[in-house]
Amino acid sequence: MIGESVKIAVVGLGTVGTGLIRTLQENRATIRARCGVDLELRSVCVRSLRKKRAVTLRPGILTTDRRAVLDDPQVDIVVELVGGTGAAAEIVMGALQRGKHVVTANKALLAERWTELFSLARRRGCGIQFEASVMAGVPVVRVLNEGLAGNAVESMLGVLNGTTNYILTRIAADGMDYRAALRQARARGICEADPRLDVQGVDAAYKLSILGSIALGQWLPPGSVHREGITHLEAKDIRYARELFSYHPKLLAIFKHKNRRVEARVHPAFVPVSHPLAAVVDEYNAVYITARPVGSIMLYGRGAGALSAASAVASDIIHLARAVSSGVSGRILTPVAFSGKAATPVPIEEVRSKYYMRFTVADRPGVLSRISGAFGQEGVSIESVYQPRVRGEGADIVMVTHEAQDGAVKRACGRLVRMRDIVRRSPAVVRIEEGEYAGRDH
Amino acid sequence: MIGESVKIAVVGLGTVGTGLIRTLQENRATIRARCGVDLELRSVCVRSLRKKRAVTLRPGILTTDRRAVLDDPQVDIVVELVGGTGAAAEIVMGALQRGKHVVTANKALLAERWTELFSLARRRGCGIQFEASVMAGVPVVRVLNEGLAGNAVESMLGVLNGTTNYILTRIAADGMDYRAALRQARARGICEADPRLDVQGVDAAYKLSILGSIALGQWLPPGSVHREGITHLEAKDIRYARELFSYHPKLLAIFKHKNRRVEARVHPAFVPVSHPLAAVVDEYNAVYITARPVGSIMLYGRGAGALSAASAVASDIIHLARAVSSGVSGRILTPVAFSGKAATPVPIEEVRSKYYMRFTVADRPGVLSRISGAFGQEGVSIESVYQPRVRGEGADIVMVTHEAQDGAVKRACGRLVRMRDIVRRSPAVVRIEEGEYAGRDH
């Protein structure tokens, strides 16, 4: 097969598919040099032949016959850009069953059916590449799978959803309110079709499931990722956290793995302004990985968008094409290690963290001592307390705890809520993630 | 060959070699899962058998006979950790000539003999992996070669030398002077044996040569990289740039490639405090890459140190071991594309940039108009001017230009130096690199 062209079929011609075909056309010479062979686009499967397309294709390339594409013995690599877990699953499984390699950008499909997909790929000796599924063109999948191949990953802190990061940046930097920031994100075209997938952390949980599964070498089911969205985060707390404690708000996807104990959670969190993740603003994404022996590294970039995703899909195609052209096709290509067992993260109540909290209380003597007493009874110790301003009907008390167990903090908050004479409403609670990083002590 | 072990020989057992062997021992199970085979350490070549070692090796592994290691037909992969361009060249070339794959961390050897090494590797069908040569465990080589394989790289801004970044951080953040900061860097053990390689930009130029050569697909000789060190940068200018214009100092390694025009240079530069590179402090490294179609991505991490480098070397070994075990050994493995011709960057005089400048002038009327006149005559336009403080014998004038050609700025400074009645000493001149990044407008 060496020296011949490698033949690819693309299923789905939306913005990513269009960007991909343009990339393959524009960077043809570079790609040939890197692959050692020519890539030949053999078919592009779409739903309608009549729609106007933003790319020029040779006659006969466009088709609506998905089965014919899968059955074409000439096709080496099938690129699934349909999305969702319905037709996409049939395409991916169908291609693997026929011994074809697969490139997919489909985070939901991968996260939901990880073990099944990689088992099938292994049985058939095929590769599945999925760089675009997390952080689009920022090559975090390849970095975990290959660049850090000799490492044990101990933690990952990810800003994996661009929409929520954009919203939080607008609230924190421009003082915008949540509704206005969400409207602006929609106007900018960076939301999922259903923005609830963004703001409730579903998108980030899928991505964390994929990164965690690679790091663990076993499936981390998306349903096992503890998930809280940003809809309950108040602008007031973002302001207090910034002004009183120098924290920035992020929707963090957190993975930790130490002594066979796995944590996997997506929730709003405050990070120190000097943390490299705090500089990740607007719709940008980043992941801060700590591993043995490498230490800490961070990858940063635009984690969404047609061109960024097209870059990732192109790199996956080139990766597989190299293998096909050097004759390894038909043997195991996927570097994803996995066991059949799914990982089970510890319940959120057992997770330890620092906490930011705000209470609205009656403005009278002895309140602070009763509040700190409630925390003391649950073994939660307080690092600092402020009473930033007094209002007509009550005062805000803002505090940061030392590291404490989530369950203990919840129990302490339960005690407070029962103190009806002094506590006016449920406290605002946000976890704090500090970690180790360069410049922490400056 | 599938299912058997892959056999490696390590030449050089300093801190990186020791860290590597520990990593292979500690992460053995993970590595086997990722390689599909066992790695067998067959020999470790050292200069003295009597020296005490910090790792436990099976009897018979240690040897001083370099030739026997190269001639051992069982060895698949030779890991060169000797350094320098003497013995290291013999080891690397000798291994390739014998059809063995090579892993090296040797930036000087790669940068100086790029075309020769990769030509030989291609002729012999062998791979050379060199992730540790730039930014140690931060997998920038793999990201350029594979993660961005479908991209055209348009620019790279790198903080590639940890020592100088540490020194500049101490000066900028702690107000330390240069000598004290250098002493502290030496005490911390993060300098090269000869710190001139760090502070004069030699180390960064080697690394830029390697990254540029990958991006271009042709050799970018280290001697063609324009190079200025940090020894002339004054604390006063770092303070002015911060206070007046919100800039941070960096020793930047800059590569640009547009319309067949290549720029390659290492020099001090000011970047906006909101640029992601400004958050890269202490001895950390980062590279900010802009490419089509991916956009901008940044990689960040500890770019030096035995464990970080060991991580990179381990990933290279795993990469090659996968290829060996799947039977591709003996065909082209290196994804580095190259032509025989060396690249020729444009002369520094033709490079365009913004400039920070400080003049010490006589404190009398008309001075500013004569200075701006000199710039006007060379077509250099000024963006802003400050006269921060008046001294007994003269005043500082601090200015920032719009983008201008380096040659024109130099000619304008020449005009000023000849105005002996008003300009008291040669101006301080520092380039400014702003670029496009998220959050620029906040």
CB within 8 Å: B31 and A169: no
Q: Is-contact A114 A141, C-beta < 8 A? A: no
Say whether A318 and B149 touch across the interface (CB within 8 A): yes
Please name which of B377, B379, B376, B380 lies closest in space to residue B356, comparing C-alpha atoms. B380
pLDDT of residue A1: 41
A301 and B300 within 8 Å at the Cβ level: the answer is: no
Cα distance between residue B34 and residue B28, in whole Å: 10
- How many Å lie between the alpha carbon of A233 and the closest alpha carbon of chain B? 22
Residues of chain B neighbouring A150 (CB-CB closer than 8 A): 23-24, 27, 30-31, 310-311, 314-315, 317-318
Provide the b/e sequence for B230-266 (b: ≥16 CB within 10 Å): beebeeebbebbbebbebbbbbbbbbbbeeeebbbbb
Q: Distance between CA A277 and CA A394 in Å, rounded?
A: 35
3-state secondary structure B9-50: EEECCCHHHHHHHHHHHHCHHHHHHHHCCCEEEEEEECCCCC
pLDDT recorded at residue A350 = 97
Residue of B nearest to A132 (CA): B147
Q: Could you give the CA distance from residue A8 to residue A60 in angstroms, rounded to a whole number?
A: 14
Cβ distance of A34 and B314 shorter than 8 Å: no
Helices (H) then strands (E): counts for chain B: 14, 19
Is residue A56 classed as helix, strand or coil in its secondary structure?
A: coil
Count the Cβ atoms, other than its own, within 10 Å of residue A70: 20
Contact B296 A301 (CB under 8 A): yes
Among A22, A308, A331, select the one facing B294 at the smallest CB separation. Answer: A308
Task: Collect all residues of chain A within an 8 Å Cβ-Cβ radius of residue B282.
Answer: 438-439
Chain A contact set for B305 (CB, 8 A): 295
Residues in chain A closer than 8 A to B169 (CB atoms): 439, 442
Could you list the active site residues of A?
207
- The per-residue pLDDT for B34 is 80
A 10 A CB-CB count for A144 gives 27
User: Contact A321/A333 with Cβ under 8 angstroms?
Assistant: no
Confidence at residue B333, expressed as pLDDT on a 0 to 100 scale? 54
Cα separations in angstroms, B198 against B205, B230, B419: 10, 9, 36
CA torsion angle for A19, A21, A25, A28 (degrees, to 10)?
100
Separation between Cα atoms, residue A92 and residue A4, nearest integer Å: 25
Shortest distance between the Cα of B231 and any Cα of chain A, in A, equals 23
CB count, 10 Å around CB of A177?
12
Which amino acid does the sequence have at A343? A
For B47, half-sphere exposure in the C-beta direction (CA atoms, 13 angstrom radius) is: 5
Q: pLDDT (tens digit, 0 to 9) for every residue of chain A, 442 residues total? A: 444 799 999 999 999 999 999 999 998 888 888 887 899 999 999 999 999 999 999 999 999 999 999 999 999 999 999 999 999 999 999 999 999 999 999 999 999 999 999 999 989 989 999 999 999 999 999 999 999 988 999 999 999 999 999 999 999 999 999 999 999 999 988 887 788 999 999 999 999 999 999 999 999 999 999 999 999 999 999 999 999 999 999 999 999 999 999 999 999 999 999 999 999 999 999 999 999 999 999 999 998 889 999 999 999 999 999 888 877 665 555 556 677 789 999 999 999 999 999 998 888 888 889 999 999 999 999 999 998 766 566 789 999 999 999 999 999 999 999 998 888 888 999 999 998 787 776 5
CA distance B111 to B345: 15
pLDDT, position B2: 44
Distance CA A78, CA A92 (A): 8
Q: What are the beta bridge partners of residue A248?
A: A271
Pick from A137, A297, A318: CB nearest B300: A297
**Mean pLDDT for all residues in chain B:** 92
Nearest to B132 by CA among B263, B4, B319: B319
Nearest alpha carbon to residue A164 among A274, A278, A256, A249: A249
Cβ separation A326–B322 shorter than 8 A: no
DSSP string, B166-234: HHHHHHHHH---HHHHHHHHHHTT-S-SSTHHHHTTHHHHHHHHHHHHHHHTEE--GGGSEE--STT--
Q: Provide, as residue numbers in chain A, all residues whose Cβ is less than 8 Å from the Cβ of B31.
A: 149-150
CA-based nearest distance B295→chain A, Å:
7
Q: How far is B154 from chain A (nearest CA, A)?
A: 13
d(CA B135, CA B159): 9
CB A357 within 8 A of CB A401: yes
A148 and B139 Cβ atoms separated by less than 8 Å: yes
Positions of chain B with pLDDT under 70:
1-3, 328-338, 389-393, 441-442
Q: Which residues contact A370 (CB under 8 A, 6 or more apart)?
A: A419, A422
CB contact (8 A) between residue B331 and residue A335: no
H/E element, B108: helix B107-124
Q: Are strands B226-227 and B261-272 parallel, antiparallel or unpaired?
A: parallel
Q: Locate the chain A residue with the closest alpha carbon to B24.
A: A150
Instruction: Pinpoint the alpha helices (H) of B217-329.
Output: 235-245, 306-325
Angstroms from B273 CA to nearest CA on chain A: 10
CA distance B298 to B135: 13
Report pLDDT for B381.
95
Smallest Cβ distance to B139: which of A148, A295, A319? A148
Q: Which of B148, B216, B294 to mutate to test the interface with A (most CBs of A within 10 A)?
A: B294
Alpha-carbon distance B368 to B419, whole Å?
Answer: 12
CA distance A142 to A113: 20
Q: How many C-beta atoms surround the C-beta of residue B115 within 10 A? A: 16
Q: CA of B52 to nearest chain A CA: how many angstroms apart? A: 22
Candidates A300, A337, A439; nearest CB to B276 = A300
Closest chain A residue to the Cα of B336, Cα to Cα: A34
Q: What is the mean pLDDT of chain A?
A: 92
CB pairs < 8 Å spanning A and B? 250
Residues 6+ apart with CB under 8 A from A430: A233, A237, A241, A249, A268, A269, A270, A355, A356, A357
Are the beta carbons of B322 and B36 closer than 8 angstroms? yes
Nearest-CB residue to A307 (from B174, B293, B298): B293
Among A26, A276, A319, the residue with its CB nearest the CB of B279 is A276
Q: How many angstroms from the chain centroid is the CA of residue B184?
A: 22
Residue from the list A150, A278, A282 with its beta carbon closest to the beta carbon of B311: A150
Catalytic residue selected from B7, B107, B207, B256: B207
Q: Which residue has the tokens 């990933």?
A: B315
CB neighbours (10 Å) of residue A81? 27
Residue/partner pairs of B345-349 with CB below 8 Å, 24 or more apart = B345/B220, B345/B224, B345/B225, B345/B226, B345/B262, B345/B263, B345/B264, B345/B265, B346/B261, B346/B262, B346/B263, B347/B226, B348/B226, B348/B265, B348/B406, B349/B405, B349/B406, B349/B407, B349/B410
Q: Which residue of A has its CA nearest to B332?
A: A326
Task: Name, in order, each residue with C-beta under 8 angstroms of A208's C-beta and a sequence gap of 6 or more.
Answer: A156, A158, A160, A220, A222, A225, A253, A254, A255, A264, A266
Q: How does A192-221 read in b/e, with b if 16+ C-beta sit within 10 Å?
A: eeebebbbbbbbbbbbbbbbbbbbbebbbb
Tokens standing for residue B198: 């760090």
Dist. CA A380–CA A403, nearest whole Å: 8
Encoded amino acid at A252, one letter: L
**What are the chain A neighbours of B323 within 8 Å (beta carbons)?**
328
**To the nearest whole angstrom, how far is the Cα of B299 from the nearest Cα of chain A?**
5
| Contact state of A19 with B293 under an 8 Å Cβ cutoff | yes
Query: Closest-CA residue in chain B for A323?
Result: B328
- The DSSP code for B371 is H
Query: Whole-angstrom Cα distance, residue A181 to residue A187?
Result: 10
